């Protein structure tokens, strides 16, 4: 009986070996979570914090300092597609190209930087902002898949920073809060009334005011 149990246990363990071998690399390559949430810059106060195709983030200073020789990428996704982004997708490929976003790519990778670009602590006078969507020259250039091109719609967008050592992701931040861009108003949505007065009434009042000013000027000249 003991012999049969030993043989049965051996048969049970054999199918598990391939599964364990598959799990070991995944555990080895686990991406460490960094407690940081990207956010729209607060200082200096900018007029164009968000536009119709761009927004301005604060740089991730003092976030990845414990990782040496890493490249830091910004990942940009639509809120509805962010959950499907795979950290193992390499930057500069068709699977992470700006030109394929959002039709066939759930998130693109752009604004490649190193720790030297984000010194910690911040030197006095340093500009610490990143404008996302500011490059127009590479919008349709497939040879530049990491283009920081204009955002294709109002959003909402989510972003996070991802640190890679070579081609392997080692650390990532949280996703940001949803970011909405500005949208232009339709001409049909612009009100033609002001405080209950019609556009015709406003025009008539303006004309009468001008005529009164001319008459007053004439009287002063006669006197």
For the stretch 106-148, pLDDT in tens is 999 999 999 999 999 888 888 899 999 999 999 999 999 999 9
Under DSSP, is residue 20 helix (H, G, I), strand (E, B) or coil?
helix
Listed in sequence order, the residues at least 6 apart from 183 whose beta carbon sits closer than 8 Å to its beta carbon are 52, 154
CB contact at 8 A, 106 and 84: yes
pTM: 0.71
| pLDDT score at 15 | 52
- Bigger pLDDT: 17 vs 221: 221
Specify burial of residue 155 (Cβ count, 10 A radius: 0-12, 13-18, 19+): middle
Per-residue pLDDT for 25 more than 90?
Answer: no
pLDDT band at 27 (very low <50, low <70, confident <90, very high): very low
| pLDDT score at 197 | 54
| pLDDT score at 108 | 98
Specify burial of residue 61 (Cβ count, 10 A radius: 0-12, 13-18, 19+): middle
Residue range 30-56: average pLDDT? 90
Considering the chain, what is the average pLDDT of its residues? 83
Render pLDDT for 158-181 as a digit per residue (tens, 0 to 9).
999 999 998 899 999 999 999 999
| pLDDT score at 26 | 42
| pLDDT score at 220 | 62
| pLDDT score at 29 | 59
CB atoms within 10 A of CB 39: 12
CB contact at 8 A, 146 and 109: yes
Specify burial of residue 111 (Cβ count, 10 A radius: 0-12, 13-18, 19+): buried
- Of the listed ranges 63-67, 191-195, 203-207, 212-216, the one predicted with least confidence: 191-195
The share of the chain scoring above pLDDT 90, in percent, equals 60
CB contact at 8 A, 162 and 72: yes
| pLDDT score at 20 | 42
């Amino acid at each position: 009986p003991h012999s049969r149990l030993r043989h049965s246990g051996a048969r049970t363990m054999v199918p598990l070996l391939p599964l364990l071998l598959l799990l070991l690399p995944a555990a080895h390559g686990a991406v460490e979570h960094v407690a940081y949430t990207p956010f729209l810059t607060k200082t200096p106060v900018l007029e164009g914090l968000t536009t119709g195709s761009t927004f301005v983030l604060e740089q991730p200073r003092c976030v990845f300092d414990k990782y040496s020789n890493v490249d830091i990428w910004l990942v940009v996704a639509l809120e509805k597609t962010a959950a499907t982004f795979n950290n193992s997708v390499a930057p500069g490929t068709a699977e992470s190209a700006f030109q394929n976003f959002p039709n066939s790519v759930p998130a693109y990778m752009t604004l490649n930087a190193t720790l030297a670009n984000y010194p910690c602590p911040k030197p006095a006078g340093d500009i610490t902002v990143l404008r996302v969507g500011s490059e127009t020259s590479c919008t349709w250039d497939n040879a530049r898949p990491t283009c920081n091109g204009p955002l294709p719609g109002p959003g909402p967008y989510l972003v996070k920073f991802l640190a890679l050592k070579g081609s392997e992701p080692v650390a990532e931040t949280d996703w940001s809060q949803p970011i909405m861009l500005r949208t232009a108003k339709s001409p049909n949505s612009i009100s033609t009334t002001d405080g209950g007065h019609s556009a015709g009434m406003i025009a008539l009042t303006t004309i009468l005011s001008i005529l009164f000013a001319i008459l007053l000027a004439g009287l002063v000249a006669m006197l």
